[in-house]
Structure 1
Amino acid sequence: MKTEREKMINGDFYDPSDEELIKARIRAHKLAHTYSQLEVEQERSNLIKEIFGATGEKIHVEPGLRIDYGENISVGERFYANFDAVMLDVCPITIGDNAMLGPRVSLVTPEHPLDPIERNSGLEFGRPIKIGDNCWVGSDATIIGGVTLGDNVVVGAGSVVTKSFGDNVVIAGNPARVIKTIPESK
């Protein structure tokens, strides 16, 4: 039988009031709070590598980080997140190399049932988010669970990304749509 944690990571219905999950969230929230209070860059750099499940060597996350667990977040080399990033990681959030998040970007993997009786049961589920290499997500954009963005994607500020997109596109709007193709680099 699967644990609630295993169900959560797999995207199955799970009970977020499970004691193990509550303890993991409390730990992550405390670490994120401590992270935001640190003034020494090297101390923050060391702590973010403890908070996230996997990281590149050179990453930078500005203070104000909000997470569910942290351990389900993987970021590549030269990752940058501006102030007040929200990364709700009940399912994996995977981000490639050279990716940048503007201020107040939200990556949201948890979801709730549409049926009100199921929703009122307290059960929830999630879907992973995958962002490729060389992506830039503009300020106040939201990417929901189940979305995969290819390499070299630019997400316009304030956009809501509800579906997946391939490589080399600029997307914007609510819901986001392709507004421009980026020529491949020579």
Structure 2
Amino acid sequence: MPEGRSQKQRMLAGDWYCCLDTELEEMRQAARRAVHAHNTCPPDTRGPMAAALATLFRQIGADCLIEAPFHCAYGVNIALGDRVYLNAGCTILDTAPVTIGDGAMLGPSVQIYCAQHATDPGERARGLEIARPVRIGRNAWIGGGAIVMPGVTVGADAIVGAGSVVTRDVAAGDTVVGNPARKR
């Protein structure tokens, strides 16, 4: 890795970085405050999402709705298209860009992970990880409790069955189920 770059710059470039970093911790703390505001605001006051959360995200299309509770690592890497729906309990660990296309729906407790930790125990203990982007295509439906792993793309109009663990890309229009998720 070239010297002189911050851990945040390394993370955003998709290089190995140390997550045990002051600047990254400050960003996570800002996300925690925004998530807390969203999750504790009365629904009548909150609307589709709390203002603090909305200002954190990279992009929010029209008519999006995020149910509470919700959790994200940074928020700044999340881009939502129009009419995106995230049901209660969704978690997005957005160490890399997470793009969710127009009309996509995520069921309750869907988890999207971008961080891939080092496999070497010593490197992992030092906080080394790499961030891989996740893309959810237009009109995709991710069933409740599904987990989408780092670097995965779920194509437009695809369906991921409830409880599935998606470790590989899902082609547009395909339906996958199981652990690991396989084409049905």
Bin of the TM-score, shorter chain as denominator length:
over 0.9
2:65–2:86 contact (8 Å) kept in structure 1: yes
1:16–1:122 contact (8 Å) kept in structure 2: yes
CA distance in 1, matches of 2:111, 2:173: 21
Kindly indicate whether residue 29 of structure 2 is the aligned counterpart of residue 22 of structure 1: no
Structure 2 letter corresponding to 1:115: D
* Structure 1 stretches lacking a partner, 5+ long: 180-186
CA distance in 2, matches of 1:43, 1:177: 33
Give the structure 1 partner of residue 114 of structure 2: 109
Cα RMSD, aligned residues only: 1.3
1:1-186 matches, within 5 Å, as 1-39=4-42, 40-42=45-47, 44=49, 46-179=51-184
* Structure 2 stretches lacking a partner, 5+ long: none
C-alpha displacement of 1:2: 2.0
C-alpha displacement of 1:45: 5.0
1:36–1:65 contact (8 Å) kept in structure 2: yes
CA distance in 2, matches of 1:91, 1:77: 21
Report the number of matched residues.
179
CA distance in 2, matches of 1:114, 1:37: 37
Structure 2 letter corresponding to 1:116: P
- String of CA shifts for 1:89-144, please: whole Å, max 9, x gaps: 00110110000000000001011111222222221111110111000000000001
- String of CA shifts for 1:45-83, please: whole Å, max 9, x gaps: 534321211010210000111111001000100000000
Equivalent position SS for 2:60: coil
Kindly tell me: are residues 32 and 88 of structure 1, through their superposed partners in 2, closer, same or farther at Cα, counting changes over 3 Å?
same
Give the structure 2 partner of residue 183 of structure 1: none
CA distance in 2, matches of 1:32, 1:138: 22
TM-score (norm 2): 0.93
Structure 1 letter corresponding to 2:172: D
Worse-matched range after superposition: 117-126 or 87-96 = 117-126
1:45–1:59 contact (8 Å) kept in structure 2: no
CA distance in 2, matches of 1:57, 1:43: 10
CA distance in 2, matches of 1:77, 1:53: 14
1:105–1:141 contact (8 Å) kept in structure 2: yes
CA distance in 1, matches of 2:134, 2:55: 21
Equivalent position SS for 2:32: helix
Indicate the percent of aligned positions where both proteins have the same amino acid.
Answer: 37
